[in-house]
Amino acid sequence: MTEVLEQIKKGINCLKNKDYLNAEDIFLGLVRRYPANLNIYTYLIPVLIEQKKFKDALKFSERLFNLNKNSELGLIYMGIINYSLKKFSAALDFFERSLLINPKNYDGLVNIGVTYRKLGDYKKAIYYFKESLKINNNRSVVFYNLGSINEVEGNYEEAILFLNKAISIDPKEYDSIHALSLCQLSMQNYKDGLKNYEYRWLTRNSTKKRYQNIASLDSINSVTGKNILVWYEQGLGDTIQFSRYVNLLIKSGAQVTFEVQKPLIAFLKRQFNCEITGDASKNNFDFQCPVMSLPYLFDIKANDIQSLNQYFKSDNEKVSLWRNILSLSKDKKNIGIAISGNVNQINENRRKIDLKHFLPLTKYFRLFIIQKDIYEDDKKILKKTNDIVYLGDNSQWNDFEDTSAIVQNMDLVVSIDTSLIHLAGSMNKKTYLLLSKAADWRWSSEDFNTPQWYKNMIIIRQKKRNNWEDVILRLQGELNYLL
């Protein structure tokens, strides 16, 4: 028995150090020798889940449950595995079955709450999270989830209370610190918000910083003559929006290399007086900085957002080329639109708008969908009208040189919060941003004046969550001047 305990201890150490392969070997060996030892399964299954070996994890979870059907643990693992596989209905079924065995099982209640949150049913999610607090009110994860739900709903003050509680329980609850930063930024507390936003690199699902072997840029003082790498970190729109601080860094005397996403390289090369590249890994630098950390270093305030001193320009030849490609209407105004974005974006569901809502606009306008992919339901709508043109399958559309030329040919742009709105805004094209009630922090809370990132932009924000009909009606009122 001492040998077994020693092996388990060794496996646990491997698990803590994220040495999952060795941990798996140890626990698999123990399971073969002691197949009825339930304790071993509780270590083996998480190791397999961490490695995304879901088929094996499910097999051992079923075995664990069959060894002791009076224990809910096997069912909870099966629920976690199905959740990881995005089989949310099956996950809920396993979690709910676990509660039949033990109605006061904390993990079962929390996981049901997490699943309902993922499905967007916040009311049920909150119910199960609060039920779990009756059993254990000293776990940060529940307060984090309650805080995050309120952040997404735009209830920032209540969110902050939950998130601060999570942080008080666990000061290293970095997801809560990051969520807190989003609330602070939305309430235009940029001093604390931007400081806490730097914890985004330590959250559970974050990617690692690139170029960790290069010293971080911690101050904009004494950057004159220094070789500084600024690199993209999030979406295309983020790179465009925060690139204004690259120009500010250049004006401070730094020798800047700006690493951007491949579709932006050619376009941004013409906009900046610095090196633009898609891969800076072979160069030597004094400092490096992710682009979205620049506002923190420049200590921005809500009322002094760095304005665009020069607008992005399209390539004239590309503009002419796309004028011939596009079926521009001579009788109606031509409007470029974007109605959805990256399906993996965390808040995609709250920002996307079904294409059917735009059909009333086709009476007076010709619409061009300027995005690469659309949802299946929107494809069905396309078949009902000739006044909506989808450009995503046009083989001549390769990068942002083409996108900017398309935008230049439009009379105006209407878009959700995606890269198109930032491109059009940076080109000084007349734009209408259709915004969800609770939106990304950069647009602030509806209770504050929206920061003026772009001068030629009008924002139409939801007054009621998920109500896009009212937004489109107000958009129609705004567009009447074109008729």
Per-residue pLDDT tens over the stretch 120-166: 899 999 999 999 999 999 999 999 999 999 998 889 999 999 999 99
- Asked if the model's pLDDT at residue 181 lies above 80, the reply is yes
Whether the pLDDT of residue 426 is over 80: the answer is yes
Residue 266 lies in a domain: yes
By DSSP bridging, strand 365-369 and strand 431-435 are unpaired
Asked whether residue 163 is domain-assigned, the answer is no
Q: Each residue of 193-245: pLDDT tens digit?
A: 999 999 999 998 888 889 989 999 999 998 999 999 999 999 999 999 999 99
Q: Is residue 344 part of a domain?
A: yes
Q: Which domain holds residue 435?
A: 316-482
pLDDT at 482 over 90: no
Query: 412-415 and 333-338 as β-strands: parallel, antiparallel, unpaired?
Result: parallel
Of 258, 275, 304, which one is at a domain's C-terminal end?
304
Tell whether 139 is covered by a domain: no
CA dist 57 and 46 (Å) reads: 8
Q: In what order do the strands lie in the sheet with 388-390?
A: 388-390, 365-369, 333-338, 412-415, 431-435, 457-461
Predicted confidence (pLDDT) at residue 1 exceeds the cutoff of 80: no
Among the candidates 304, 339, 364, a domain finishes at 304
Same domain, 372 and 408: yes
For residue 288, pLDDT beyond 80 = yes
Q: What is the pLDDT of residue 301?
A: 85
45 domain-assigned: no
Is 457 strand, coil or helix? strand
Asked whether residue 323 falls in the same domain as residue 294, the answer is no
Instruction: Please indicate, yes or no, whether residues 262 and 330 belong to a single structural domain of this protein.
Output: no
Are both 289 and 330 inside the same structural domain? no
Residue 286 has pLDDT above 70, yes or no: yes
Is 283 in the same domain as 377?
no
Average pLDDT over residues 75-104: 96
- The pLDDT tens digits of the residues spanning 353-391 come to 999 999 999 999 999 999 998 999 999 999 888 889 999
Predicted confidence at residue 156, as pLDDT, reads 95
Number of domains within the chain: 2
Task: Answer with the one of 261, 276, 304 that is the final residue of a domain.
Answer: 304
Shared domain check, 328 and 280 = no
pLDDT average, residue stretch 74-99: 97
294 and 240 in a common domain: yes
Judge if 289 and 395 occupy the same domain.
no
Helix, strand, coil percentages in the chain from 3-state DSSP, rounded to 5: 55, 10, 35
Of the candidates 411, 425, 429, the one whose C-alpha atom is nearest the C-alpha of residue 454 is 425
Looking at the fold, whether 337 and 436 belong to one and the same domain comes out as yes
**Domain contains 431:** yes
Q: Are residues 329 and 431 in the same domain?
A: yes
Inside any domain, residue 7: no
CA distance 155 to 148: 10
**Same structural domain for residues 441 and 405?**
yes
Do residues 295 and 322 both lie within one domain? Answer: no
CA separation for the pair 263, 156 (Å, rounded): 35
